Structure 1
Amino acid sequence: MNRALGKKGEELAMAAARAEGYTVRESNYRCPFGEIDLVLQKGSTVVFAEVKTRKDDSFGEPWEAVTEIKQERIRRVAAWYVQQHNLHLTYRFDVFAVYSWGGNWKYRWYKDAF
């Protein structure tokens, strides 16, 4: 996947989150343990979200790329983020599966995905 496609997918995910009342705390947050695409917040819930974008299904569904290994890496980054920001809030892990098939963009938001 090229960077432009991934960036467009992240922009769509941020717009969808904002439309549902979420605030974007961070995008492309990096720490010594890795990276998280989006950190969102709504009320007392912080959401660590992975965005996977595909232009076709030759490599499977976008959400299938969030393997157990990737999930564990995201959990470590999230733990670092919570500690560094001294957060005492509820948090969860979501996946945005973004599709760009034939120039049509759509997404599925898997809340509490893992």
Structure 2
Amino acid sequence: MSGGNTKLLGRWGESLVAEDLRRKGQRLLAAGYQCRFGEIDLITADEQYIIFTEVKLRRDDRFAPGRAFVDARKQARLRTTAELYLAQFPTGLQPRFDVAEVYAPRGMETEHPRILYFENAF
């Protein structure tokens, strides 16, 4: 799959998760926030937390679950990126790091993608 298609598929997965989080009462603050340290897929907030969510889209979990790809190095980049975001946009809310796995066996043609969500993933 080409890089453009992969990026499009990733954004599609992120939009599914963003909509799911909105239904659960979270406010979307940013999607695809980028800085020199890295990128955070989704930044949302509820009454208590500012939530930094890493979204992993996979066709299946035969090799490994999506959250397995959020290793210590990726976690460190996410924390550093989140620190910069909070310096630019202070909220006074407690930060939390979550991981969302989206399973879509047929890519964007999947009728009912499955979303697994892990709060306080790291």
Cα RMSD for the two superposed structures: 1.5
Q: What does 1:30-41 correspond to in 2, within 5 Å? A: 30-41=34-45
Stretch deviating more after TM superposition (81-90 or 39-48): 81-90
State whether structure 2 residue 89 is matched by structure 1 residue 85: yes
> Partner residue of 1:8?
12
Offset at residue 58 of structure 1 (A): 5.1
Amino acid in structure 2 at the alignment position of 1:106 = R
Question: Of Structure 1 and Structure 2, which has the larger fraction of its residues in strand?
Answer: 1
SS at match of 1:5: helix
> Partner residue of 2:114?
106
User: Normalization by structure 2: what TM-score?
Assistant: 0.86
Amino acid in structure 1 at the alignment position of 2:115 = Y
| Number of residue-to-residue matches in the alignment | 114
Stretch deviating more after TM superposition (103-112 or 23-32): 103-112
2:70 to 66, 70, 78: 66
Instruction: Measure the CA separation in 2 of the matches of 1:44 and 1:86.
Output: 14
Which consecutive unaligned segments of at least 5 residues does structure 2 have? none
Which consecutive unaligned segments of at least 5 residues does structure 1 have? none
User: Normalization by structure 1: what TM-score?
Assistant: 0.92
State whether structure 2 residue 23 is matched by structure 1 residue 19: yes
Instruction: Measure the CA separation in 1 of the matches of 2:96 and 2:26.
Output: 13
